[in-house]
Structures are given as C-alpha cells and as structure tokens.
Amino acid sequence: MSDKLSEVKLYQLAAAAQQNTEAACAQFSPFEGLALSIQIKKSAKAAVAHIAEGFGRHNSGDRISLLRLAEESANNVIKGFDASLKSKLIKKLDCEKLKEEWNAAITEINEYITYLESGGEMESPLPGA
C-alpha cells in the first residue's frame, strides 16, 4: 500500500482527467466558450482537490463526505462538456473521451465510498494504493 497521493489510482484518474479537461477548454472559442470553460475547469479542479483533501482525512465519515463532493464536481464537469457539445465548442469524439475519463473517476469514487460504508479499513488512504 502506498502513502503517496500521486500513486493512488483514483487520484491519478482524476488528475489526468483534469489535465485533459484543461487542454480541451483551451480550445474553446475565447468569446462563446469563456464562461463555460471557466466553469468546467473550476469543477475539474474541485473534484481533484476534494479527493486530495479526503486522502488526508483519518475518519471515514469525513472522507466519504469529501468523496461525495468530488463526485458532484466530476458530474458538473460532464454536464459542462454536454453543454459545450450542444454549443458546438467541442467535437463529439473529444467530448465523449473526456466524459469517459470523468466517468471512470466517478466509478472509482463510488467503489471506494461503498467500501468505506461497508466498514472497510482505512489502512490504505484510497483504493488502488
């Protein structure tokens, strides 16, 4: 088991998705896409930050609460990409790929929440470590 956040699968998935989100938003039109780009990037950063903060908590209730906030932020990123596709700010294939990345992170979040709620040990900071 690792005690380094950078080696935790959930964090790696979310951080990679955040990087790819930043790159995708940089391609949005600076006029039509600015507000949406800012909103998407803030949600992506929040998701990763909540995971990181949860990593530092030593009680499962706090960790679950932060993971639920991370999940909500990740879902907001997906909604933002749906809106960007509707506004023709992003190509459909690029949008689907980014949504898949965020859905993978959400799946990991939910699996870990289920693990913690079932009384799973807190020895490992997050699954995949």
| DSSP assignment string, 29-76 | -TTTSHHHHHHHHHHHHHHHHHHHHHHT--SHHHHHHHHHHHHHHHHH
Closest CA to 116 of 72, 74, 46, 65: 65
Distance CA 19, CA 15 (A): 6
**What percent of the chain is modeled with pLDDT above 90?**
76
Q: Domain ranges for the chain, please list them.
A: 5-117
Per-residue pLDDT at 58: 83
Q: Which fold has domain 5-117?
A: de novo design (two linked rop proteins) (1.20.1440)
| Two tokens, residue 87 | 């506004």
Question: CB of 98 within 8 A of CB of 17?
Answer: yes
Report the range of poorest mean pLDDT among 46-50, 103-107, 124-128.
124-128
Per-residue pLDDT at 95: 96
pLDDT surpassing 60 at residue 72:
yes
Per-residue pLDDT at 49: 97
Give the global pTM: 0.88
The mean pLDDT value for 98-119 works out to 94
